Amino acid sequence: MKKFLFLVFSISLCFSLTGCFGMTADNNDVTDNNDTSDIDPTATPIVKDKNARIREIEEDAKKDATNEEGIKKEDINEAVAYINEHKDDAFKSDEVSEKLIYYGAYLKHVGAKTENASKHDLATLGDNVHQYVSKVYAETEDKTSDAVKGIKDTIDKAVDGMKDTKDKIVDDFYNMVK
């Protein structure tokens, strides 16, 4: 019995070692993980970490809000218009979500230029939009959670409250930060 077990063990060991050492670089089964010949260099890379993408968008918005050329009233108007237009379909696509994150962060960072502007309705709106979309986009919160619903309600009230006075609100905000 011992001889039989020894023989089975020896044969198993031989097959195992043959399997481990039998592969060579010439073998078709071996792939080179560094081969990039079939990758399109113009393709947009897939961002697996949405939190990293959010940080990238925030940095872009901050850079644009603090550029040397100054803040443009048209950019503030564009941010407010986009938020107003897409607040109810914020998760329609990644593109819409990312633009809302950008415009929210942009308004927040524009408002950060002065203490009064940081308390302005548009800076607060920007911060709320940024939080709302970022939490759901990064999948840290569900859009049906109480916290997210609360932020969404605040956004809706803010946008509804400025419908008739949007131009004046934008002018006031712009004059604080120019």
> Which pLDDT tens digit goes with each residue over 76-87?
999 999 999 999
pLDDT, one tens digit per residue, over 117-171 is: 999 999 999 999 999 999 999 999 998 999 999 999 999 999 999 988 999 999 9
Round to whole Å and give the CA distance between 109 and 105. 6
pLDDT, one tens digit per residue, over 23-77 is: 444 444 444 444 544 555 555 444 458 999 999 999 999 999 998 788 999 999 9
Q: Higher model confidence: residue 23 or residue 111?
A: 111
- The predicted model scores a pTM of 0.72
Contacting residues for 20 by C-beta, under 8 A, at least 6 apart: none
Q: How far is CA 14 from CA 25, 27, 29, 38, 143, in A?
A: 21, 20, 21, 38, 58
